[in-house]
Amino acid sequence: MRVLAHFTPGGKVLDLLAAESDWLDVRFCAEDDDATLHRELPDAEVIWHVLRPLSGDDVRRATRCRLIHKLGAGVNTIDVDAASERGIAVANMPGANAPSVAEGTVLLMLAALRRLPELDRATRAGEGWPTDPRLGEIVRDIGGGTVGLVGYGNVAQRVATIVGAMGATVLHTSTRDDGRPGWRALPDLLAASDIVSLHLPLTPGTAGLLDRAALARMRPDAVLVNTSRGPIVDESALADALRSGRLAAAGLDVFGEEPAPPDHPLFGLPNVVVTPHVAWCTADTMRRYLAEGVENCRRLLDGRDLVNVVNQAG
């Protein structure tokens, strides 16, 4: 079975797939190499997709394709309608990256709360001691604070477990009251939280959800963390809030445009911590991704039902 893996593999990935080489022919293509992508698409029976958007034109080039498998949960980077029209199944991997994204989320919370980038720069420059006298006034713990989770799926529930163990009060919101302790309507959650962390898929209903009015509901000493999707936040409004002191800090793994340009308005702010959409990217997650990807290929080969299909193909 011919698989087009749209990412650059490391040695461990190649080692894990070597055991399947008798039946699985995996061809790798870097995400920024469109020439190779377009050359490989016509022969691919399966596409393992990560982040570079897979357009309708790309899908139409994949004339032999029967399955597009997202290595992750969000399928907003795939033209699902085009795949459905061509009878191509689209599947994802809900929960496979949840442990890694949850830990990456808490990492950004801590880095933003504790002013990690500023302190790192000052220490390297020989200016880290004596410490900034403001630290005892502006740096806080997660424990003893309130963490508000916007969306309450696999990742958010793991974050709740971690920060709860650290002593935080955990609130959450979703489309309606789910009956669990700590549920709040979004406006109330924003006003009550020391840290607001986003865990939503990108849909027409969530795009721009954290707009200027929503950000204004947050406390001036609050921190915003986003490891879900960039367009959920109005980045211009966020930059204004951070610059003016209406918001204390932000930790961001995702952006409206990816890769984010070096002149992004948030990058010049000292109270922003950023990573390039890699909260999911660990050796542990990659093992889970490959196991699920190989299993669905086996199912396709054997004529069995695929798992985690999100569309009606055909």
**Which pLDDT score, from 0 to 100, does residue 134 have?**
82
Pairing relationship of beta strands 89-91 and 146-150 according to DSSP bridges: unpaired
Which member of 45, 85, 118, 258 is catalytic?
258
Judged by DSSP in three states, 249 sits in strand
**Which pLDDT score, from 0 to 100, does residue 288 have?**
95
Return d(Cα 66, Cα 87) in angstroms, integer.
Answer: 7
CA 206 from chain center: how many Å? 14
Q: One digit per residue, pLDDT tens: the chain, 314 residues?
A: 999 999 999 999 999 999 999 999 999 999 999 999 999 999 999 999 998 999 999 999 999 999 999 999 889 999 999 999 999 999 999 999 999 999 999 999 999 999 999 899 989 999 888 777 888 888 899 999 999 999 999 999 999 999 999 999 999 998 888 889 999 999 999 999 999 999 999 999 999 999 999 999 999 999 999 999 999 999 999 999 999 999 999 999 999 999 899 999 999 999 999 999 999 999 999 999 999 999 999 999 999 999 999 999 86
CA 272 from chain center: how many Å? 17
| Omega before residue 130 within 30° of 0, cis | yes
**Which pLDDT score, from 0 to 100, does residue 131 have?**
77
pTM metric for this prediction = 0.89
- Is 277 noted as a catalytic residue in this protein? yes
Number of H-type helices and E-type strands within the chain: 12, 11
Task: Provide DSSP, 157-207.
Answer: HHHHHHHHHTT-EEEEE-SS--S-TTB--HHHHHHH-SEEEE-----TTTT
Q: What is residue 76's DSSP assignment?
A: T
Question: With b meaning 16 or more CB within 10 Å and e meaning fewer, what string describes 76-94?
Answer: ebbbbebbbebebbbbbbb
**Which pLDDT score, from 0 to 100, does residue 268 have?**
93
Determine contact, residues 252/273, Cβ cutoff 8 Å: yes
Q: What tokens appear for 5 in the block? A: 């893996």
Which member of 52, 277, 288, 292 is catalytic?
277
**Which pLDDT score, from 0 to 100, does residue 133 have?**
82
Sheet strands side by side (includes 146-150)? 169-173, 146-150, 195-198, 223-226, 249-252, 272-274
**Which pLDDT score, from 0 to 100, does residue 135 have?**
83
**Which pLDDT score, from 0 to 100, does residue 260 have?**
94
- Is 229 noted as a catalytic residue in this protein? yes
**Which pLDDT score, from 0 to 100, does residue 314 have?**
62
Q: Quick one: residue 204, left, alpha or beta (phi over 0 = left, psi -120 to 50 = alpha)? A: alpha
